[in-house]
Amino acid sequence: MQNLPERTVVVLGMGGTIAGRAASADDNLGYVAGTVGVGALVASASHDAPVTVESEQVAQIDSKDMEFALWRRLAGRVAHHLARVEVAGVVVTHGTDTLEETAYFLSRVVAADKPVVLTAAMRPASSRQADGPQNLADATTVATLGGRAGVVVAFAGTLHSAHDVRKVHPYRLDAFSSGDAGPLARIEDGRLRALRDWPAESIMARDRMPEDASAWPWVEIVTSGTGTDGRVVAALIAAGVAGIVVAGTGNGSLHRVLEAALADAEARGVAILRSTRCLDGTIVENTPRRFASAGDLTPVKARIELMLRLLESR
Ligand code: ASP
């Protein structure tokens, strides 16, 4: 019988609280994110599955400071390791603050034929009750699953799709939700209890991403609400914005003054995408309306989507 090579999981470190360190093991807030090396994180997590775990430090930052150049580098490293035959899947350790953004970005630019599993932590690695080691062990388990492909997030015993995941709590250990769509699975004692299929995103060519961060299309989010007027839109047009995601009220409705300002922006060549500031659900259209709909994407993800569409149309 032929001996199959042991499967490998590659863990790419980006920093975050999972790699954070505080002066005291009882301090879960006064830590510095992005301090502990990814090799040490891997060493601190137990792996049930018989796998070889490799690690690579791609960045070491607090994810609130994420940059387009780092996204580009990360996408390249993920694609590189996925192409290796012995690699079962890739894990990315990341900060929680922009985890949903990086997950959505990767899901749109990496043609993953294996699992790409992002994970993070709410407590630093130095905490007496750190949540990172279990989250990393769960992510590694998911990365070894055969027959599954795409970008997902393993967090607090739950598996989320890159499309639906969002951070919903600033402190709780179970800080992420998939909203209306619900999670993909529960991860229980090293086993996956599937709840729904992993969704697939359409993939954008990675060579469309400029090396120079300033060459990425500038897209901002503007929120509609009481007394909203067009001043911010006028300022954005004057400053050279390429796209505006509007976070509308309810079913994507807009204050009439803001809507007029956005119509003016569109007439001047600014791309507009309409989303909703509601926490759950999708915009429901019965008749075509002005401005394209972001569907069920949150304003934060709609911003990435519009950026990628603008890159694709160049
Ligand atoms: N500020 C941290 C980060 O996003 C928060 C975390 O990881 O939980 O890197």
Q: What is the pLDDT of residues 48-57, one digit of tens each?
A: 667 999 999 9
* pLDDT tens by residue, 192-243: 999 999 999 899 888 889 989 899 999 999 999 999 999 999 999 999 999 9
Return the ligand 1 atom nearest residue 20 CA: 7
Q: What pLDDT score does 4 carry?
A: 52
Q: Quick check: CB of 95 below 6 Å from ligand 1?
A: yes
* pLDDT tens by residue, 98-135: 999 999 999 999 999 999 999 999 999 999 999 999 99
Please identify every residue annotated as catalytic: 17
Return the ligand 1 atom nearest residue 16 CA: 9
Q: Quick check: CB of 305 below 6 Å from ligand 1?
A: no
Q: Residue 118 C-alpha to ligand 1 middle, in angstroms?
A: 13
Probe ligand 1: pick from 62, 65, 99, max atoms within 8 Å of CB?
Answer: 62
Q: What pLDDT score does 286 carry?
A: 84
Tell the residue nearest (CA) to atom 3 of ligand 1. 95
6 band by pLDDT with thresholds 50, 70 and 90: low
Q: Quick check: CB of 14 below 6 Å from ligand 1?
A: no
Q: Residue 12 C-alpha to ligand 1 middle, in angstroms?
A: 16
CA distance 117 to 160: 10
Tell the residue nearest (CA) to atom 8 of ligand 1. 96
Burial class (CB in 10 A: 0-12, 13-18, 19+), 267: exposed
Are 273 and 310 in contact by the 8 Å Cβ rule? The answer is no
Phi, psi at 310, each rounded to 5°: -65, -40
Query: How many residues in total does the chain contain?
Result: 314
Residues near 138 by Cβ (< 8 Å), separated by ≥ 6? 119, 154, 157, 187, 190
Return the ligand 1 atom nearest residue 122 CA: 8
End-to-end CA, the chain: 53
CA distance 141 to 249: 40
Q: Residue 124 C-alpha to ligand 1 middle, in angstroms?
A: 9
CA distance 22 to 35: 10
CATH numbers and ranges of domains, the chain: 7-194 (3.40.50.1170), 217-312 (3.40.50.40)
- In this structure, which amino acid lies at residue 300? V
Q: What pLDDT score does 288 carry?
A: 84
Mean pLDDT calculated for residue range 69-83: 97
Q: Quick check: CB of 124 below 6 Å from ligand 1?
A: no
For the chain, the average pLDDT equals: 95
CA distance 204 to 22: 40
pTM of the model: 0.96
Are 56 and 11 in contact by the 8 Å Cβ rule? The answer is yes
Q: Residue 13 C-alpha to ligand 1 middle, in angstroms?
A: 13
The pLDDT > 90 percentage for the chain reads 89
Q: Quick check: CB of 102 below 6 Å from ligand 1?
A: no
Return the ligand 1 atom nearest residue 64 CA: 4
